[in-house]
Amino acid sequence: MEIIKKIASVPLFEDLSKKQLADIAAIAVGQKYKRGQLVFSEGDEGSGFYVLISGGVKIFKLSPEGKEQILHIMGPGEPFGEAAVFAGEHFPASARTLSESKVLFFPRRSFVDLITNNPALSLNMLAFLSRRLRVLANLVESLSLKEVPGRLAAYLLYYSKHKNDPAILELGISKTQLAALLGTIPETLSRILSRMGKEKLIKAGLRHIQILDRQGLLELSEGSRRLT
């Protein structure tokens, strides 16, 4: 059963005993999605939740006019769709794969039983939900209190936290997707990237961005500086 090995490496299932991991493995169902496939839609009945094993998934909302706002981008090891398990029962947003992806699906009923008898698992889940809450609170802050250059600067700084200048960031997503994550449109993002380039804050490539002036970005993200 190599499924146990996969499960053991998922942060959500950290600190669990062999026996507990086996219990979890017993209720997990493996699934595979092609790039661009819809995993679930906002409003769907949430009969369980997912853990991403490989690939990438975006969680997003769509406006009637077709504009997309990305809430999260999930990488391997991350759970998604959990909120529907513990409250409300239907998904508050939609999920689509960004590349070919493997996921594990956990049916609601069995998982709730499992968590009930498993304090470590429930604390892990609480930690994940709390972290997600924080991410969304920051997104709200970005959207409401920052202009697009500030949002982009904050994003770049966040994703380069552990690198030194000149840091080269592999975006891993298209600029269209990045725009949707920042709450804007590709045209606006493109213009701002070019302005940031002119001011020697960054150097933008096709799918990567080089940070030249961290301090400048910080000032932008905090509103104490503006792009000319």
Partner DNA sequence: CGTGGCCTTGATAAAGTTCAAGAGCCGTGG
Partner DNA sequence: CCACGGCTCTTGAACTTTATCAAGGCCACG
The site for a copy of itself (CB under 8 A) is made up of 61-65, 67, 69, 71, 82-88, 92-93, 112, 115-117, 119, 122-123, 125-134, 136-141, 143-146, 183, 222-224
CA-nearest of 132, 74, 70 to 101 is 74
Q: How far is the CB of 156 from DNA (least distance, A)?
A: 15
- Rounded to whole angstroms, the Cα distance separating 73 from 150 reads 20
Interface with DNA (CB under 7 A), residue from 103, 139, 148, 202: 148
Q: Assess 65 for contact with DNA (CB under 7 A).
A: yes
Binding residues for DNA restricted to 103-122, rule: CB under 7 A? none
Q: Calculate ∠ Cα 35-36-39, nearest 5°.
A: 100
CA-nearest of 228, 212, 72 to 149 is 228
Q: Which is nearer to a copy of itself, 144 or 164 (CB)?
A: 144
For residue 101, give both structure tokens: 């992806």
71 binds, among a copy of itself, DNA, none (CB under 5 to 8 A by kind): a copy of itself
- Rounded to whole angstroms, the Cα distance separating 50 from 130 reads 17
Q: Which is nearer to a copy of itself, 24 or 93 (CB)?
A: 93
For residue 25, give both structure tokens: 């493995």
CA-nearest of 27, 19, 20, 25 to 1 is 25
Q: Which is nearer to a copy of itself, 38 or 140 (CB)?
A: 140
The 177-196 site mask, x for binding DNA (CB under 7 A), equals ------xxxxxxxxxxxx--
CA-nearest of 71, 66, 68, 114 to 91 is 71
Q: Assess 204 for contact with DNA (CB under 7 A).
A: yes
Q: How far is the CB of 125 from a copy of itself (least distance, A)?
A: 6
What are the backbone angles phi and psi of residue 210, rounded to the nearest 5°?
-105, 130
Q: Which residues bind DNA (CB under 7 A)?
A: 65, 67, 147-149, 174-176, 183-194, 204, 206-207, 226
